[in-house]
Each structure stands twice: as C-alpha cells, then as structure tokens.
Amino acid sequence: METIASVTGGKVRGSTDGEISRFLGIPYAAAPVGPARFESPKPVPEWSGVRDATEYGATCAQSPYPPAIHALVGSDGIPGDEYLNVNVWTPDAGGSGLPVLVWIHGGAFVRGSNARTIYDGSAFARDGVVVVSVNYRLGISGFAAVPGAPLNRGLRDQIFALHWVQENIAAFGGDPGNVTVFGESAGGMSVVNLIASPAARGLFRRAIAQSANGSAVADAGDARKVAENVATALGIEPTVAEFGGLGPDQLRTVQDSIALDLMTNPDPARWGASIVSNGLGILSFFPVIDGELIPDRPTDVIAAQPDRAVPLIFGWTAEEFRFFTFPTGIAAGITDETLPFALARYGLDPAVAEPYAANRPGASAADVFAAVITDLVFRDDALRIAELTEAAGQPAYAYEFAWRSGVPDLGACHVMEVPFVFDKVTAAPGLTGPNPPQPLADEMHGAWVRFATHGDPGWSRFDFTTRTVRIFDSPESYDVADPRADELRALRRSQKG
C-alpha cells in the first residue's frame, strides 16, 4: 500500500507494510555536483507531482571496501547525483508526537551510506519510534580542505539534514522537540562534533555515540596539505574550479591512493601532524577545526562550554581494533618483537602493554596490541566525554559491547553492536557468524528505544563515584564499576609520557 507525505520540495510516495511506512531516498538538499560539490548545501529544488520514495537513493562517490572488510560488512555504491538524501521509517505517518531517532552512518568519513540492510529502521518503527537515516558528503567531496571552499561540507550536510528533520518530521508523525541523534564510528564522531558545534544547537535533544571519540579532528592547515597532495596526484591546481571538474571515478581513485599513501608513509612533514596523529592511520579526510562549525577539539569545547552537553549514551565494543588488525592481515606482523614498535607508532610507551598482557593470560602480541589501541582510540575518549557530560549536569550512560562474534578472530570488534542496536542480527552473518543471540538484540535495541522515548535506557547512570558501565553480553548483561581501570590508568600515563 502506498502512503503520501508532503515535505520540503514537494510530495513523496512511500510504501506501507503492516503498520510501518517507509519513505526512501528523499532529497533534503540540492544535488552537489560539479562546482556545487564544494559549496555549502543548498535547498532542494521543488518538484511537481508526487515523487516516488520506495527505493534507496544514490550514495556519495566511494570505492568498495577491500575484500577482507567487504566480506564482513559489504560495500555501498548506488550511482546518481541526488545523494544528499534521507530515509524515513514511521509507525504512523498520520500520527503525532512520536520520538525521533536520526542515524548518521560510519565508514571513516570516506565510505558508507544510509542504504545498508543493517541500518533498516523498521524495528524502531515497530516499537514506536520514527527513524531518519542520513547520507552526507564523504571523502574529498565532504572533507577535503580545498582553498576557497567552505570546510566541513559533510558536517554541514548533517546539520542541513537536521534542519530538514525539524521542518518535516511532523509529516511522518514525529515530534521535532524529541529528536535523538545517533551514529557509529565516523557517524559517532559526527555526533560528538554536532554536540560541540554552535550551528547544531537546538536541533536535537539527546545523543548516542557508538564507537567514537572526541579527538579525531584536523587542523585546517594540515587538512590543506592533504588537499594539495590530492591536487598534485591529479595534476591540477588546488582550486574550487579544478576540484569541481572531477567526476566520481576520479574522486574514487584518488581517495583510495591518498589513503594508502598516508597509511604506508605517515610523514607529518608531508601530511601535517594532526592528520597523522588524530587520524590514527585510518582517517585521511575527516572533520577540520574551522573556528565556526568546529571551534576546537570537541572534548575541549564541551569542557570549556558545559552548556553544550546533552543527555548521552556513549560506548564502545570490547575489542574494537580487532576489526582493523585481524581480517586485514596486520595481526600476523605483530609479534613479541614488533609489538613495542607498533605501540610506539601510536605515541605510546611500550610498557603500557604490561597490564594488558597480565590481564589476558595466553594472549598473543596481536591480541594485546588490539586491546591497547581499542582503549586509545575509543574507550579512553568515551569515558572522558561521559565525565564531561556528568560534570555539566547532564545524564550520561556508558556501555561496552562484549559479545564475541562466531566468525574466527573477530571477537567483540568494531561494528559488531550495530545489527543488535537495529535488531537486524540475521542480516549480518558475515559479521556475527551463525546464530547470534536474539535476546541480546532485544535488550540493546530496547534500551535505545527507551532512551529515545524518555531519556533512560534502563541501566545505571555513569557518575564519578561508581563509574558504572553496562556490559552487553550473552547469556546475560550486567553493570560493572569502572572495568579494567588499571589498564586505563596505564594508558593515560603512557600518553603523558
């Protein structure tokens, strides 16, 4: 059955199955092609008649993941110019006052889209929540610091989409005053940037940041060095006009070559110190401190301006970095002999490994490396932001996803919690392996529904006395006071050293 809704630009035709209506690929901004690719988002042109919204829309230019990662999570690539689009799932398009969740996808700011099966919002709609999933500009299109172009175009897209939600969500039964923004990985980092950004103030009430941190931002001067490297690789001048003439195939090719070059030759003199250190060897094009949308590192902004804080769920998976080390083959090169050098590359004193190894009898050097870098990139910053949120007088809820995949070597790695949050565990066998625990999905998904609805996910609030963390696991989840505190103390000492 079809359902019609009126939004900015015109009318859209969605589909209804049972009690859930879906509207897919709705453009929220004008197509950013040609020189417009490097401009701020513009209002979508009006269309006549009723526009079909029953299939996913286009995605920003990107290459498929390398085979090892593609096997786990798949890849994205729907051609088309109107890739600034949103999807909406609602339990009652004719209703009102429903809570709203706005999803920002991950993908290291160079990959991903809102069209993945594990991001399907049907289960949230089934449980009374309107879900909006957002596409935004990625890679060179979204984050290259091209002279003469506004910085952080991808983040500007997200803010533009949040304005679209404020203006249009009532047409789908949603309450614009009860919006929770949530995201994972680059999407979670985007959430933290949105919390800190003056331009996003008032556009959402609560936030959930999954597997994120508040430090992955680049200095503008360093980001310009990356753009200059792109221009050199293409044989063009680093101008808006020259960059605006690039087609999707050129963008895909050079994004991949720059990422590989940066990973294998992380020379701060060439790329800029903040690109190398804050990008952690994974990120090549990512948000930039511009004094406007991003005034400073988000953790510093929230510390200096506690009024920016909002009620927050912030968490990580117990073994995040296994995603980046084991499927890719990097783990094979980390031995007892090479571990000190691998840790030193991240600016850590190799002695930091001692408590991690002691707490994991029989663990390999690669296991220890993944545990340390998991805490460095994700857990440490997660707890810092939980601390800042509580200090600001807003409720913070911390979690760790600890269930280990049935796929060999993955463990409780990066991305593993996403199909549980969306209640789509049967849609990700390459990631979860066979027979993932449905009760754990029921529990975690339900917590997100409760938080979006009334702000309490159902476990103990983080505070400075108990530092409670919810451990999501099977057969039973539980709360722990300050888990593995000895490891975190060692990590923070190592960073200071």
Active site residues: 185, 320, 414
How many angstroms separate the CA atoms of 99 and 165, rounded?
A: 12
Return the number of other C-beta atoms located less than 10 Å from residue 66's C-beta. Answer: 12
- In degrees and rounded to multiples of 5, residue 327 shows phi and psi of -60, -30
- Element at 412 (helix H, strand E): none
What distance in Å separates the CA atoms of residue 179 and residue 100, rounded to the nearest whole number? 5
| 113, 59 Cβ separation under 8 angstroms | yes
Identify the DSSP state of 275.
H
Residue 297 CA to residue 318 CA, distance in Å, equals: 25
In this structure, the dihedral spanned by the alpha carbons of residues 197, 201, 205 and 206, taken in order and rounded to 10 degrees, is 10
Q: CA geometry: angle at 300 spanning 297 and 306, to 5°?
A: 130
Residue 117 and residue 74: Cα distance in Å, rounded? 10
Residue with tokens 């909006």: 132
CA 446 to chain centre: 20
| Tokens 């957002």 found at | 134
Six-digit token string for 137: 């500009």
Tell me the C-alpha to C-alpha distance, in Å, between residue 358 and each of 353, 365, 474. Answer: 9, 12, 25
Q: How far apart are CA 134 and CA 83, in angstroms?
A: 10
φ, ψ for residue 59, nearest 5 deg: -120, 155
| Separation in Å, CA 32 to CA 7, 43, 141, 253 | 20, 11, 9, 19
d(CA 444, CA 432): 15
Query: Helix 485-496 vs helix 380-391: angle between axes, to the nearest 10 degrees?
Result: 100
